Protein backbone atom coordinates (compact mmCIF):
# COMPACT_ATOMS: atom_id res chain seq x y z
CA UNK A 1 0.00 0.00 0.00
CA UNK A 2 0.93 3.62 -0.49
CA UNK A 3 0.98 4.68 3.18
CA UNK A 4 -1.76 7.02 4.33
CA UNK A 5 0.93 9.63 4.90
CA UNK A 6 1.71 9.85 1.16
CA UNK A 7 2.57 13.46 0.35
CA UNK A 8 -0.38 15.06 -1.42
CA UNK A 9 0.44 15.81 -5.02
CA UNK A 10 -0.02 19.41 -6.07
CA UNK A 11 -1.73 18.41 -9.30
CA UNK A 12 -4.13 15.56 -8.83
CA UNK A 13 -6.34 13.38 -10.98
CA UNK A 14 -9.83 14.09 -9.73
CA UNK A 15 -13.16 12.50 -10.65
CA UNK A 16 -16.17 14.63 -9.79
CA UNK A 17 -19.23 12.39 -9.72
CA UNK A 18 -22.55 14.11 -10.44
CA UNK A 19 -22.29 17.08 -12.82
CA UNK A 20 -25.30 19.08 -11.69
CA UNK A 21 -25.62 22.44 -10.12
CA UNK A 22 -22.91 21.70 -7.56
CA UNK A 23 -20.66 19.12 -9.22
CA UNK A 24 -20.03 20.89 -12.54
CA UNK A 25 -18.90 24.24 -11.08
CA UNK A 26 -16.77 22.35 -8.53
CA UNK A 27 -15.14 20.38 -11.33
CA UNK A 28 -14.42 23.59 -13.30
CA UNK A 29 -12.94 25.33 -10.24
CA UNK A 30 -10.66 22.35 -9.59
CA UNK A 31 -9.60 22.35 -13.25
CA UNK A 32 -8.84 26.08 -13.05
CA UNK A 33 -6.72 25.34 -9.96
CA UNK A 34 -4.56 23.12 -12.17
CA UNK A 35 -5.90 19.65 -11.40
CA UNK A 36 -6.66 17.08 -14.09
CA UNK A 37 -10.41 16.72 -13.70
CA UNK A 38 -12.79 14.14 -15.13
CA UNK A 39 -16.52 14.80 -14.74
CA UNK A 40 -18.79 11.78 -14.33
CA UNK A 41 -22.55 11.64 -14.68
CA UNK A 42 -25.05 8.87 -15.36
CA UNK A 43 -27.01 11.22 -17.63
CA UNK A 44 -25.58 10.51 -21.10
CA UNK A 45 -27.19 13.58 -22.68
CA UNK A 46 -25.66 15.79 -20.03
CA UNK A 47 -22.26 14.19 -20.55
CA UNK A 48 -22.51 14.67 -24.33
CA UNK A 49 -23.63 18.25 -23.83
CA UNK A 50 -20.70 19.07 -21.55
CA UNK A 51 -18.27 17.46 -23.97
CA UNK A 52 -19.78 19.70 -26.65
CA UNK A 53 -19.52 22.81 -24.51
CA UNK A 54 -23.18 22.99 -23.42
CA UNK A 55 -24.50 23.61 -19.90
CA UNK A 56 -27.86 24.62 -18.45
CA UNK A 57 -26.35 26.60 -15.58
CA UNK A 58 -26.78 30.16 -16.76
CA UNK A 59 -24.80 32.24 -14.26
CA UNK A 60 -22.52 34.56 -16.21
CA UNK A 61 -19.27 34.05 -14.29
CA UNK A 62 -19.80 30.31 -14.34
CA UNK A 63 -20.28 30.32 -18.13
CA UNK A 64 -16.95 32.08 -18.52
CA UNK A 65 -15.25 29.55 -16.24
CA UNK A 66 -16.95 26.66 -18.05
CA UNK A 67 -15.76 27.98 -21.39
CA UNK A 68 -12.16 28.00 -20.23
CA UNK A 69 -11.96 25.07 -17.80
CA UNK A 70 -14.69 22.58 -18.59
CA UNK A 71 -13.70 19.05 -17.65
CA UNK A 72 -13.90 16.08 -19.98
CA UNK A 73 -17.02 14.15 -19.05
CA UNK A 74 -17.86 10.44 -19.02
CA UNK A 75 -20.59 8.19 -17.69
CA UNK A 76 -18.26 6.09 -15.55
CA UNK A 77 -15.38 7.06 -13.26
CA UNK A 78 -11.78 6.25 -14.13
CA UNK A 79 -8.97 5.58 -11.66
CA UNK A 80 -8.17 8.84 -9.87
CA UNK A 81 -6.36 10.26 -6.86
CA UNK A 82 -9.54 11.88 -5.57
CA UNK A 83 -13.25 11.15 -6.02
CA UNK A 84 -15.76 13.85 -5.14
CA UNK A 85 -19.40 12.75 -4.98
CA UNK A 86 -22.02 15.49 -5.68
CA UNK A 87 -25.12 13.47 -6.58
CA UNK A 88 -28.72 14.34 -5.64
CA UNK A 89 -30.26 13.43 -2.30
CA UNK A 90 -33.98 14.13 -2.69
CA UNK A 91 -36.66 13.40 -0.15
CA UNK A 92 -38.52 10.15 -0.61
CA UNK A 93 -42.09 11.43 -0.86
CA UNK A 94 -43.56 8.39 0.88
CA UNK A 95 -41.17 7.68 3.74
CA UNK A 96 -40.16 11.36 4.20
CA UNK A 97 -36.59 10.09 4.48
CA UNK A 98 -33.54 10.93 2.41
CA UNK A 99 -33.37 8.97 -0.82
CA UNK A 100 -29.76 7.76 -0.71
CA UNK A 101 -29.97 5.69 -3.88
CA UNK A 102 -27.81 8.04 -6.00
CA UNK A 103 -25.18 8.31 -3.24
CA UNK A 104 -25.12 4.52 -2.91
CA UNK A 105 -24.79 4.00 -6.61
CA UNK A 106 -22.04 6.66 -6.86
CA UNK A 107 -20.20 5.02 -3.95
CA UNK A 108 -20.39 1.65 -5.74
CA UNK A 109 -18.97 3.20 -8.90
CA UNK A 110 -16.07 4.63 -6.86
CA UNK A 111 -15.53 1.33 -5.06
CA UNK A 112 -14.75 -0.31 -8.40
CA UNK A 113 -11.90 2.17 -9.01
CA UNK A 114 -10.63 2.67 -5.47
CA UNK A 115 -6.89 2.34 -4.95
CA UNK A 116 -4.64 2.61 -1.93
CA UNK A 117 -3.92 6.24 -1.05
CA UNK A 118 -7.08 7.64 -2.68
CA UNK A 119 -9.18 10.37 -1.10
CA UNK A 120 -12.98 10.09 -1.34
CA UNK A 121 -15.09 13.16 -0.56
CA UNK A 122 -18.87 13.26 -0.21
CA UNK A 123 -20.43 16.70 -0.83
CA UNK A 124 -24.10 15.66 -1.15
CA UNK A 125 -26.35 16.66 1.74
CA UNK A 126 -27.09 13.50 3.72
CA UNK A 127 -28.64 12.43 7.04
CA UNK A 128 -26.30 12.70 10.02
CA UNK A 129 -24.26 9.51 10.26
CA UNK A 130 -24.68 8.51 6.59
CA UNK A 131 -20.96 8.51 5.78
CA UNK A 132 -20.27 6.05 8.57
CA UNK A 133 -23.37 3.90 8.14
CA UNK A 134 -23.72 3.83 4.35
CA UNK A 135 -20.93 5.32 2.24
CA UNK A 136 -17.77 4.03 3.94
CA UNK A 137 -19.10 0.45 4.25
CA UNK A 138 -19.74 0.42 0.47
CA UNK A 139 -16.23 1.73 -0.25
CA UNK A 140 -14.77 -0.84 2.14
CA UNK A 141 -16.38 -3.66 0.14
CA UNK A 142 -13.35 -3.06 -2.09
CA UNK A 143 -11.25 -4.70 0.61
CA UNK A 144 -9.58 -1.35 1.41
CA UNK A 145 -10.10 0.20 4.84
CA UNK A 146 -10.91 3.86 5.51
CA UNK A 147 -8.09 5.57 7.41
CA UNK A 148 -5.71 2.69 6.79
CA UNK A 149 -5.81 2.37 2.98
CA UNK A 150 -7.87 5.29 1.73
CA UNK A 151 -8.92 8.67 3.07
CA UNK A 152 -12.47 9.93 3.42
CA UNK A 153 -14.09 13.25 4.23
CA UNK A 154 -17.57 14.68 4.27
CA UNK A 155 -17.45 18.25 2.91
CA UNK A 156 -20.91 19.77 2.49
CA UNK A 157 -21.64 22.38 -0.14
CA UNK A 158 -23.29 25.62 1.01
CA UNK A 159 -23.31 27.62 -2.23
CA UNK A 160 -26.41 29.53 -3.15
CA UNK A 161 -27.99 29.89 -6.60
CA UNK A 162 -27.34 33.34 -8.16
CA UNK A 163 -23.94 33.60 -6.52
CA UNK A 164 -22.62 30.13 -7.11
CA UNK A 165 -18.95 30.68 -7.91
CA UNK A 166 -18.50 33.52 -5.48
CA UNK A 167 -19.91 31.35 -2.70
CA UNK A 168 -17.98 28.23 -3.69
CA UNK A 169 -14.75 30.19 -3.54
CA UNK A 170 -15.38 32.56 -0.65
CA UNK A 171 -17.72 30.74 1.75
CA UNK A 172 -16.40 29.06 4.85
CA UNK A 173 -15.89 25.33 4.13
CA UNK A 174 -16.44 22.52 6.59
CA UNK A 175 -14.30 19.43 6.34
CA UNK A 176 -15.42 16.38 8.28
CA UNK A 177 -12.51 14.01 8.03
CA UNK A 178 -12.78 10.31 8.81
CA UNK A 179 -9.53 10.89 10.68
CA UNK A 180 -6.91 13.60 11.05
CA UNK A 181 -5.02 12.69 7.88
CA UNK A 182 -8.21 12.51 5.77
CA UNK A 183 -9.19 15.97 7.02
CA UNK A 184 -5.73 17.35 6.29
CA UNK A 185 -5.78 16.01 2.73
CA UNK A 186 -9.27 17.29 2.02
CA UNK A 187 -8.28 20.69 3.39
CA UNK A 188 -5.24 20.81 1.07
CA UNK A 189 -7.46 19.96 -1.88
CA UNK A 190 -10.09 22.63 -1.13
CA UNK A 191 -7.38 25.17 -0.40
CA UNK A 192 -6.43 24.90 -4.07
CA UNK A 193 -9.55 26.96 -4.96
CA UNK A 194 -11.24 28.11 -1.73
CA UNK A 195 -10.37 31.53 -0.33
CA UNK A 196 -12.80 31.38 2.60
CA UNK A 197 -12.09 29.94 6.02
CA UNK A 198 -11.74 26.16 6.19
CA UNK A 199 -12.84 24.48 9.40
CA UNK A 200 -11.99 20.88 10.17
CA UNK A 201 -14.27 18.82 12.36
CA UNK A 202 -15.61 15.27 12.67
CA UNK A 203 -17.50 13.51 9.88
CA UNK A 204 -20.87 13.30 11.63
CA UNK A 205 -20.41 16.83 12.98
CA UNK A 206 -19.95 18.11 9.41
CA UNK A 207 -23.05 16.23 8.22
CA UNK A 208 -25.04 17.66 11.14
CA UNK A 209 -23.77 21.23 10.71
CA UNK A 210 -25.03 21.30 7.12
CA UNK A 211 -28.47 20.11 8.24
CA UNK A 212 -28.54 22.49 11.21
CA UNK A 213 -27.96 25.47 8.91
CA UNK A 214 -31.00 24.77 6.76
CA UNK A 215 -33.05 23.71 9.77
CA UNK A 216 -32.28 27.06 11.38
CA UNK A 217 -33.62 28.84 8.30
CA UNK A 218 -36.68 26.56 8.07
CA UNK A 219 -37.78 26.90 11.70
CA UNK A 220 -37.28 30.65 11.66
CA UNK A 221 -39.41 31.00 8.54
CA UNK A 222 -42.00 28.76 10.21
CA UNK A 223 -41.93 31.00 13.28
CA UNK A 224 -42.61 34.05 11.09
CA UNK A 225 -45.44 32.13 9.40
CA UNK A 226 -46.84 31.17 12.80
CA UNK A 227 -46.70 34.84 13.87
CA UNK A 228 -48.66 35.71 10.69
CA UNK A 229 -51.36 33.16 11.56
CA UNK A 230 -51.49 34.37 15.17
CA UNK A 231 -51.68 38.01 14.09
CA UNK A 232 -54.62 37.28 11.81
CA UNK A 233 -56.43 35.73 14.79
CA UNK A 234 -55.54 38.67 17.05
CA UNK A 235 -56.58 41.23 14.45
CA UNK A 236 -53.15 42.85 14.27
CA UNK A 237 -50.69 43.44 11.45
CA UNK A 238 -47.80 40.96 11.67
CA UNK A 239 -45.61 43.11 9.39
CA UNK A 240 -45.78 46.06 11.71
CA UNK A 241 -45.36 43.82 14.77
CA UNK A 242 -42.23 42.20 13.29
CA UNK A 243 -40.78 45.55 12.26
CA UNK A 244 -41.12 46.81 15.83
CA UNK A 245 -39.95 43.55 17.48
CA UNK A 246 -36.83 43.61 15.28
CA UNK A 247 -35.81 46.91 16.88
CA UNK A 248 -34.79 44.76 19.85
CA UNK A 249 -31.02 44.35 19.62
CA UNK A 250 -31.17 40.57 19.95
CA UNK A 251 -34.24 39.83 17.80
CA UNK A 252 -34.25 39.21 14.05
CA UNK A 253 -37.59 37.73 13.00
CA UNK A 254 -37.76 36.69 9.34
CA UNK A 255 -40.61 37.51 6.97
CA UNK A 256 -43.70 35.31 6.70
CA UNK A 257 -44.83 34.18 3.26
CA UNK A 258 -46.73 31.60 1.23
CA UNK A 259 -44.59 28.70 2.54
CA UNK A 260 -41.09 27.35 2.09
CA UNK A 261 -39.54 26.28 -1.20
CA UNK A 262 -36.31 25.52 -2.93
CA UNK A 263 -34.09 22.54 -3.10
CA UNK A 264 -32.79 22.59 0.49
CA UNK A 265 -34.86 24.34 3.14
CA UNK A 266 -38.08 22.27 2.99
CA UNK A 267 -36.11 19.02 2.70
CA UNK A 268 -32.83 19.01 4.60
CA UNK A 269 -34.40 19.52 8.07
CA UNK A 270 -36.26 16.24 7.61
CA UNK A 271 -32.92 14.42 7.20
CA UNK A 272 -32.12 15.50 10.75
CA UNK A 273 -35.48 14.22 11.96
CA UNK A 274 -34.89 10.88 10.29
CA UNK A 275 -31.85 10.07 12.40
CA UNK A 276 -33.00 11.66 15.66
CA UNK A 277 -36.82 11.59 15.82
CA UNK A 278 -36.94 15.32 16.63
CA UNK A 279 -40.52 16.49 17.29
CA UNK A 280 -39.87 20.21 16.99
CA UNK A 281 -38.54 20.25 13.42
CA UNK A 282 -41.46 18.41 11.76
CA UNK A 283 -43.90 20.77 13.46
CA UNK A 284 -42.07 23.78 12.01
CA UNK A 285 -42.11 22.26 8.52
CA UNK A 286 -45.80 21.41 8.91
CA UNK A 287 -46.62 25.06 9.74
CA UNK A 288 -44.86 26.36 6.64
CA UNK A 289 -46.33 23.59 4.49
CA UNK A 290 -49.80 24.70 5.63
CA UNK A 291 -49.28 28.22 4.25
CA UNK A 292 -50.23 27.59 0.58
CA UNK A 293 -53.57 26.17 1.78
CA UNK A 294 -53.99 29.07 4.19
CA UNK A 295 -53.43 31.61 1.40
CA UNK A 296 -56.12 29.92 -0.70
CA UNK A 297 -58.51 29.88 2.22
CA UNK A 298 -57.98 33.62 2.65
CA UNK A 299 -58.62 34.11 -1.06
CA UNK A 300 -61.87 32.17 -0.75
CA UNK A 301 -63.06 33.93 2.41
CA UNK A 302 -62.15 37.49 1.40
CA UNK A 303 -63.31 37.17 -2.21
CA UNK A 304 -66.61 35.81 -0.98
CA UNK A 305 -66.55 33.16 -3.74
CA UNK A 306 -66.62 29.45 -2.97
CA UNK A 307 -64.40 28.60 -5.92
CA UNK A 308 -62.62 31.78 -7.00
CA UNK A 309 -60.58 31.64 -10.17
CA UNK A 310 -57.07 32.68 -9.22
CA UNK A 311 -54.09 34.17 -11.00
CA UNK A 312 -50.83 33.33 -9.21
CA UNK A 313 -48.03 35.84 -9.80
CA UNK A 314 -44.77 33.89 -9.58
CA UNK A 315 -43.92 30.22 -9.95
CA UNK A 316 -40.36 30.46 -8.59
CA UNK A 317 -39.91 29.73 -4.91
CA UNK A 318 -38.37 33.16 -4.32
CA UNK A 319 -37.88 36.48 -6.02
CA UNK A 320 -35.72 37.10 -9.08
CA UNK A 321 -34.68 33.47 -9.60
CA UNK A 322 -35.95 30.87 -12.08
CA UNK A 323 -35.99 27.95 -9.65
CA UNK A 324 -39.37 26.26 -9.15
CA UNK A 325 -38.18 23.34 -7.01
CA UNK A 326 -40.59 22.76 -4.08
CA UNK A 327 -42.14 26.13 -4.90
CA UNK A 328 -45.10 27.09 -2.68
CA UNK A 329 -46.71 28.69 -5.77
CA UNK A 330 -46.95 25.32 -7.46
CA UNK A 331 -48.22 23.69 -4.27
CA UNK A 332 -50.88 26.39 -4.13
CA UNK A 333 -51.80 25.80 -7.77
CA UNK A 334 -52.09 22.05 -7.19
CA UNK A 335 -54.33 22.45 -4.13
CA UNK A 336 -56.56 24.98 -5.95
CA UNK A 337 -56.86 22.72 -8.99
CA UNK A 338 -57.81 19.81 -6.74
CA UNK A 339 -60.60 21.97 -5.36
CA UNK A 340 -61.76 22.57 -8.93
CA UNK A 341 -60.70 26.25 -9.01
CA UNK A 342 -59.49 27.78 -12.25
CA UNK A 343 -55.77 28.59 -11.92
CA UNK A 344 -53.39 30.71 -14.00
CA UNK A 345 -49.69 31.28 -13.27
CA UNK A 346 -47.43 33.98 -14.67
CA UNK A 347 -43.71 34.26 -14.10
CA UNK A 348 -41.31 36.43 -16.11
CA UNK A 349 -38.32 34.29 -15.06
CA UNK A 350 -39.70 30.95 -16.21
CA UNK A 351 -40.28 30.29 -19.87
CA UNK A 352 -43.30 28.07 -19.32
CA UNK A 353 -45.10 30.89 -17.49
CA UNK A 354 -43.70 33.89 -19.40
CA UNK A 355 -46.23 36.48 -20.58
CA UNK A 356 -46.74 39.57 -22.67
CA UNK A 357 -48.45 42.65 -21.25
CA UNK A 358 -51.56 41.72 -23.22
CA UNK A 359 -51.55 38.25 -21.68
CA UNK A 360 -51.14 39.79 -18.23
CA UNK A 361 -54.12 42.07 -18.79
CA UNK A 362 -56.28 39.21 -20.06
CA UNK A 363 -55.27 36.96 -17.18
CA UNK A 364 -56.18 39.64 -14.64
CA UNK A 365 -59.44 40.29 -16.44
CA UNK A 366 -60.36 36.61 -16.36
CA UNK A 367 -59.74 35.93 -12.65
CA UNK A 368 -61.50 36.72 -9.38
CA UNK A 369 -58.35 36.97 -7.34
CA UNK A 370 -54.70 37.78 -8.02
CA UNK A 371 -52.27 36.11 -5.60
CA UNK A 372 -48.75 37.54 -5.36
CA UNK A 373 -46.67 34.49 -4.50
CA UNK A 374 -43.14 35.41 -5.61
CA UNK A 375 -41.42 38.73 -4.97
CA UNK A 376 -39.99 39.24 -8.45
CA UNK A 377 -39.19 42.93 -8.97
CA UNK A 378 -41.11 42.84 -12.30
CA UNK A 379 -44.36 42.38 -10.37
CA UNK A 380 -43.73 45.48 -8.27
CA UNK A 381 -42.93 47.53 -11.30
CA UNK A 382 -45.81 46.31 -13.45
CA UNK A 383 -47.87 49.04 -15.15
CA UNK A 384 -51.49 48.77 -14.04
CA UNK A 385 -52.58 51.54 -16.41
CA UNK A 386 -54.81 49.29 -18.52
CA UNK A 387 -56.11 47.19 -15.59
CA UNK A 388 -59.63 47.47 -14.24
CA UNK A 389 -59.80 45.79 -10.84
CA UNK A 390 -63.56 46.24 -10.43
CA UNK A 391 -63.34 45.12 -6.79
CA UNK A 392 -61.31 41.98 -7.54
CA UNK A 393 -59.12 40.77 -4.73
CA UNK A 394 -55.34 40.99 -4.54
CA UNK A 395 -53.80 38.65 -1.96
CA UNK A 396 -50.22 39.69 -1.26
CA UNK A 397 -48.48 36.82 0.50
CA UNK A 398 -45.22 38.76 0.95
CA UNK A 399 -46.38 42.32 1.65
CA UNK A 400 -44.39 43.20 -1.43
CA UNK A 401 -46.56 45.10 -3.90
CA UNK A 402 -47.44 48.79 -3.96
CA UNK A 403 -50.92 48.42 -2.48
CA UNK A 404 -51.95 52.01 -3.15
CA UNK A 405 -51.26 51.41 -6.85
CA UNK A 406 -53.42 48.27 -6.87
CA UNK A 407 -56.20 49.96 -4.90
CA UNK A 408 -56.11 52.86 -7.35
CA UNK A 409 -56.63 50.29 -10.13
CA UNK A 410 -59.75 49.06 -8.36
CA UNK A 411 -58.52 46.10 -6.32
CA UNK A 412 -59.29 45.19 -2.73
CA UNK A 413 -56.03 44.19 -1.01
CA UNK A 414 -55.49 41.43 1.54
CA UNK A 415 -51.97 41.00 2.93
CA UNK A 416 -51.24 37.64 4.53
CA UNK A 417 -50.60 38.17 8.25
CA UNK A 418 -52.43 41.48 8.42
CA UNK A 419 -55.35 40.71 10.73
CA UNK A 420 -56.47 44.34 10.64
CA UNK A 421 -57.83 43.72 7.16
CA UNK A 422 -60.14 41.03 8.56
CA UNK A 423 -60.30 37.37 7.61
CA UNK A 424 -63.11 37.84 5.12
N1 LIG B 1 -28.17 23.06 -5.68
C2 LIG B 1 -27.89 23.64 -4.54
O3 LIG B 1 -28.14 24.84 -4.37
C4 LIG B 1 -27.22 22.86 -3.41
C5 LIG B 1 -26.63 23.58 -2.37
C6 LIG B 1 -26.00 22.88 -1.36
C7 LIG B 1 -25.99 21.49 -1.37
N8 LIG B 1 -26.59 20.80 -2.40
C9 LIG B 1 -26.55 19.33 -2.38
O10 LIG B 1 -25.60 18.91 -3.36
C11 LIG B 1 -26.03 17.64 -3.92
C12 LIG B 1 -26.10 17.77 -5.43
O13 LIG B 1 -27.07 18.76 -5.73
P14 LIG B 1 -27.23 19.38 -7.18
O15 LIG B 1 -28.10 20.58 -7.03
O16 LIG B 1 -25.90 19.52 -7.84
O17 LIG B 1 -28.04 18.21 -7.92
P18 LIG B 1 -28.41 18.12 -9.47
O19 LIG B 1 -29.67 17.37 -9.53
O20 LIG B 1 -28.30 19.48 -10.10
O21 LIG B 1 -27.22 17.26 -10.10
C22 LIG B 1 -26.89 15.98 -9.69
C23 LIG B 1 -26.31 15.21 -10.86
O24 LIG B 1 -25.91 13.93 -10.38
C25 LIG B 1 -26.17 12.98 -11.43
N26 LIG B 1 -26.21 11.64 -10.86
C27 LIG B 1 -27.21 11.00 -10.20
N28 LIG B 1 -26.82 9.79 -9.80
C29 LIG B 1 -25.54 9.63 -10.21
C30 LIG B 1 -24.60 8.58 -10.10
N31 LIG B 1 -24.87 7.47 -9.45
N32 LIG B 1 -23.39 8.75 -10.67
C33 LIG B 1 -23.08 9.89 -11.34
N34 LIG B 1 -23.94 10.91 -11.47
C35 LIG B 1 -25.15 10.79 -10.91
C36 LIG B 1 -27.47 13.45 -12.05
O37 LIG B 1 -27.62 12.93 -13.35
C38 LIG B 1 -27.29 14.97 -12.01
O39 LIG B 1 -26.74 15.46 -13.21
C40 LIG B 1 -27.38 17.32 -3.26
O41 LIG B 1 -27.17 16.48 -2.16
C42 LIG B 1 -27.86 18.68 -2.78
O43 LIG B 1 -28.72 18.56 -1.68
C44 LIG B 1 -27.18 21.47 -3.43
Assess whether the C-beta atom of 373 lies below 6 angstroms from ligand 1.
Answer: no
What pLDDT is attached to residue 8? Answer: 57
Give the pLDDT confidence score for residue 93 in this predicted structure.
82
Residue 106 Cα: closest atom of ligand 1: 31
Q: What is the position in ligand 1's atom list of the atom closest to the CA of 267?
A: 43
103 CA to middle of ligand 1, Å?
A: 9
By annotation, the residues acting in catalysis are 210, 264
Q: How far is the CA of 10 from the centre of ligand 1 (A)?
A: 27
Domains in the chain, CATH or no CATH each: 13-196 (3.40.50.720), 212-287 (1.10.1040.10), 290-421 (3.40.50.720)
pLDDT tens-place values along the chain, 424 residues long = 444 444 456 899 999 999 999 999 999 999 999 999 999 999 999 999 999 999 989 899 999 999 999 999 999 999 999 999 999 999 998 888 999 999 999 999 999 999 999 999 999 999 999 999 999 999 999 999 999 999 999 999 999 877 899 999 999 999 999 999 999 999 999 999 999 999 999 999 999 999 999 999 999 999 999 999 999 999 999 999 999 999 999 999 999 999 999 989 999 999 999 878 889 999 999 999 999 999 999 999 999 999 999 999 999 999 998 889 999 999 999 999 999 999 999 999 999 999 999 999 999 999 999 999 999 999 999 999 888 899 999 999 999 999 999 999 999 999 999 999 855 4
User: Is the separation of the CB atoms in 123 and 85 below 8 Å?
Assistant: yes
Q: Is 87 in the pocket of ligand 1 (CB under 6 A)?
A: yes
CA of 133 from ligand 1 middle (Å) equals: 20
Interval between CA 85 and ligand 1 midpoint (Å): 9
What integer pLDDT is reported at residue 1 of this predicted model?
44
Q: Is the dihedral of CA 291, 258, 293, 316 positive or negative?
A: negative
Give the residue whose CA is nearest to atom 21 of ligand 1: 20
Check if 157 has its Cβ closer than 6 Å to any atom of ligand 1: yes
Amino acid sequence: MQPAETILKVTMDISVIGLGYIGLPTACLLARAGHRVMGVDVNERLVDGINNGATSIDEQDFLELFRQHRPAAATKPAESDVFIICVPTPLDGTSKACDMSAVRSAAYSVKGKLRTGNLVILESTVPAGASKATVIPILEESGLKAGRDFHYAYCPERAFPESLLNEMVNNCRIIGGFDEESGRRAETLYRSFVKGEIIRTGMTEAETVKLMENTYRAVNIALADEFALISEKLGIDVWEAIRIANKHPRVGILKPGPGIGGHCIPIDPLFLVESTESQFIPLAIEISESMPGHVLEQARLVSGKDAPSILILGAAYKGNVNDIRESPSLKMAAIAQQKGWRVGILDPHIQKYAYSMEEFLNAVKGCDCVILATDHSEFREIDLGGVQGNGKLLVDTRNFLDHKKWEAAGFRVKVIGNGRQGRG
